[in-house]
Amino acid sequence: MKIKSKILEIKSKILLSAFLFILFLEAVILSIVIYEIKKSNEETISNIKKYYISTQEQRLKNLVELYKSSIKDLYKNNTLDKSTLQAEAKKRLRNMFYDRNGYIFFVYDGTGANVLPPVKPYFEGKNLINMKDRNNVFFIKKLLYKAKSGGGFVRYIWPKTSKNNQEVPELSYVIYLKNWDWMMGAGVYTDDIDYYIGKIKEKNAASLKKTIAYIIGITILLIILVDLLLNFLFNKFVRSHWYIKFFTDL
């Protein structure tokens, strides 16, 4: 009985050690897998954002150049007075400027007065230089500064009509027409990318859960197999009666 008790004790210790080792191994593997998956997902999301922003920036540049070229003949006309030329330019731009596949076109003069409104007609002619977004950013001032500094991109918050005037991020590209003292620009709402990124994160989270469940399932199966194998080996050892000589020699 003592010998069998020792065998059971040794068997229990070996099984416990094996199980603890498997659990430790699982913890290490899970940590590595979760870290690598999260790292890969973050890199993927970062690359998607960069690609989206760079694509939008190029499209905004192209749009502004398109609008600028549409009034190029008027801008370079030195025979008519400026007010007449600007009035004609406004007619041309008004017919083509708003919401080309989600892109918005706008014109302000150098003082911040709205020449052509992006969305709201009642802004036309009003000076909006002191208008702020919800982050207290004087975005018209920023747009004018950027335009007069050689042109470029500005980010701010602006109401989106298709979302019941909910304020969302917008990216704009602006240039300055010095002879007319006009700031010409195009903008696009960038909240769509946040929606798609959210969907990607949801998909990645579900995929990670499946991976974790798969690893846990394999671990449980491995524990069962190790238990069966050790039981088989110990039973074979006991049936062979080698244990009598083994423990007698001890």
Phi first, then psi: give them for residue 117, nearest 5 degrees.
-75, 150
Comparing CA positions, the residue from 13, 1, 2 lying closest to residue 234 is 13
The last residue of a domain, from among 166, 189, 212: 189
Comparing CA positions, the residue from 63, 56, 145, 49 lying closest to residue 98 is 63
The last residue of a domain, from among 189, 209, 238: 189
Domain match, 211 and 178 both: no
Domain match, 207 and 235 both: yes
At residue 136, the 3 state secondary structure works out as coil
* Positive or negative: CA dihedral 237, 242, 248, 250: negative
> Is residue 65 assigned to a domain?
no
How many independent structural domains does the chain possess? 2
Comparing CA positions, the residue from 191, 123, 179 lying closest to residue 155 is 191
Q: Is the pLDDT of residue 243 over 90?
A: no
Neighbours of 173 (CB within 10 A): 26
Domain match, 166 and 101 both: yes
Domain match, 101 and 152 both: yes
Domain match, 108 and 164 both: yes
Domain match, 184 and 220 both: no
The last residue of a domain, from among 189, 213, 230: 189
Comparing CA positions, the residue from 67, 140, 133, 54 lying closest to residue 98 is 67
| pLDDT the model gives residue 162 | 73
Q: Is the pTM of this model over 0.85?
A: no
Q: Rounded CA gap, 170 and 60, in Å?
A: 12
| pLDDT the model gives residue 218 | 85
Q: Is the pLDDT of residue 98 over 60?
A: no
> Is residue 63 assigned to a domain?
no
Q: Rounded CA gap, 5 and 219, in Å?
A: 29
Domain match, 204 and 228 both: yes
> Is residue 94 assigned to a domain?
yes
Range of the domain at 161: 77-189
Read off the pLDDT of residues 59-94 as tens digits, 9 standing for 90 and up: 999 999 999 999 999 999 988 899 999 999 998 888
